[in-house]
Homo-oligomer: A and B are copies of this chain.
């Protein structure tokens, strides 16, 4: 008996789903009480983003929430991993058809076991058995994203994306609280280990009845070193339809992240014209304003072309009027010097936090800006 049907629409406010509608009670106040059967969606204002699931008035958080935060020394790997995984999901699961749900199938307990080393007491560990000083831990973080579709008057699990974050450098100690040693892992090793683990993960997930016949995307991410100012990058993914229990079909992703200015001894992009553009911008800006303590950028390349940039400017500003003038100056200078045709964010921060930011989307000509105010 349908009482309310599910709308998965753009430009929507908060929607209500009554999974187990009480046929005898047509009172609309049910939209306000938190009965155990209530599922809502967050609403979607922008087709770039998924709607997501609210259960009983609360946001449905991930079952393995927080595990990755503990796992990653470099928080940039975390943000880059999660955002990048969502971009891969969007290729397979359109934001207009699917509702996003934080991972509900891999629990904290399971995630911790899988991320651990294989031992007698942890037979489920995906990292190879061996001594900490000899055998690296490859798998550093994992993330599950669920995708739901409308099925009558409820939501149905219809797709999943799993990300596996593989170390590029293995950090270890020879004794507790001792010095930290590094073991650099080759790209071939990272790739081989990631693919092996992906098949194992797929086989394990397929044992769950709900996941037996849905497409499961598995994506492999190479973690950036702990001291990197930019996160790592995805390098391969596979779409596993139907009931496949082992991954056979990999697609590569040719993505690189760089930090501008490129530090001496570090590898920069093969074409250095973007870096030159940034360098001219940086010189211009630093010449303009005293007390700029840093002008850096994260630059992302896909298939060898620049696809986006996050510029970070840190400074000790003395006044709100300086922030206003500086932001206006940045608006014209960024348009003049920075590469065009890509999305660019510029954040101006001081010791007391973000002071202003500017942003330009791919197809926009001008930067819009916002200056953070306080009464």
Contact = CB atoms under 8 A, between A and B. Distances in A.
Interface of A: 13-14, 42-46, 49-52, 54, 57-59, 61-62, 65-66, 68-69, 75-76, 78-80, 82-83, 86, 100, 102, 143, 145, 230-231, 257, 287-290, 298-300, 308, 310, 318-322, 324-326, 328-329, 331-333, 335-336, 345, 347, 349, 352-354, 357, 359, 366, 369-370, 372-375
B325 A59 contact: yes
Contacts of A308: 375
A59 B330 CA distance: 12
Contacts of A374: 76, 79-80, 83, 230-231, 298, 310
A102 to B, nearest CB: 6
A54 B289 CA distance: 9
Contacts of A49: 324, 328
A186 to B, nearest CB: 23
Given A58-B287, A59-B290, 10 more contacts: A49-B324, A57-B287, A62-B318, A68-B318, A79-B320, A82-B320, A83-B373, A145-B321, A257-B375, A345-B373
18 contacts: A42-B332, A49-B328, A52-B324, A52-B325, A57-B287, A59-B290, A59-B325, A61-B290, A79-B320, A82-B319, A102-B319, A102-B322, A145-B321, A231-B374, A347-B372, A349-B353, A353-B353, A359-B370
Given A58-B287, A353-B354, A13 B65 contact: no
Copies in the complex: 2
Contacts of A46: 328
A357 B375 contact: no
A352 B57 CA distance: 27
Contact of A62 (B43, B100, B319, B345): B319
Given A319-B62, A352-B75, A45 B366 contact: yes
B102 A44 contact: no
A145 B318 CA distance: 14
A290 B65 CA distance: 11
A8 to B, nearest CB: 14
A316 B65 CA distance: 12
A373 B102 CA distance: 19
Contacts of A349: 353
A289 B79 contact: no
Contact of A331 (B45, B329, B359): B45
Contacts of A310: 373-375
A7 to B, nearest CB: 14
A203 to B, nearest CB: 25
